[in-house]
Amino acid sequence: MPAQESECFESGPAHTVAALKCQPRKPMTQRKTEPATRLMQSIARYIDRNADQSLVLAELAAQAQLSPSHLQRRFKAVLGVSPKAYQDAARLRLLKAGLKGGKSVLNAITEAGFQSTSRVYGHTTRNLGMTPTAYRAGGAGETVAYALRHTTLGPLLMAATHRGVCVAQFGDDSAALIAQLREEFPKARIVESSHTQSPELDAWIAAFESHIAGTSPRPDLPLDLRGTAFQIRVWRFLLGVAEGEVISYADVARGIGAPRAVRASASACGSNRIAVLVPCHRVIRADGGLGGYRWGLERKRLLMARERTGRAPMRFAHGGAVGER
C-alpha–C-alpha distance, residues 131 and 321, integer Å: 38
Pairing of strands 143-151, 154-161: antiparallel
DSSP annotation of 281 reads G
280 is a catalytic site residue: yes
Torsion of CA 179, 105, 97, 43, to 10 degrees: 130
Q: Which of 8, 166, 269, 280 is catalytic?
A: 280
C-alpha–C-alpha distance, residues 315 and 297, integer Å: 14
The per-residue DSSP string of 20-52 comes to --SPPPPPHHHHTTHHHHHHHHHHHHHHHHTTT
C-alpha–C-alpha distance, residues 252 and 261, integer Å: 9
Instruction: Report whether 137 contacts 122 (CB < 8 A).
Output: no
- Number of residues assigned to the chain: 325
Let me know if 239 is exposed, middle or buried by CB neighbors in 10 A (0-12, 13-18, 19+). exposed
Element at 144 (helix H, strand E): strand 143-151
C-alpha–C-alpha distance, residues 113 and 313, integer Å: 51
Instruction: Report whether 151 contacts 215 (CB < 8 A).
Output: no
C-alpha–C-alpha distance, residues 136 and 96, integer Å: 8
> Among 85, 121, 94, which residue's Cα sits nearest to residue 13?
85
State which amino acid sits at residue 143: T
How many C-beta atoms surround the C-beta of residue 207 within 10 A? 15
**Catalytic residue list:** 280
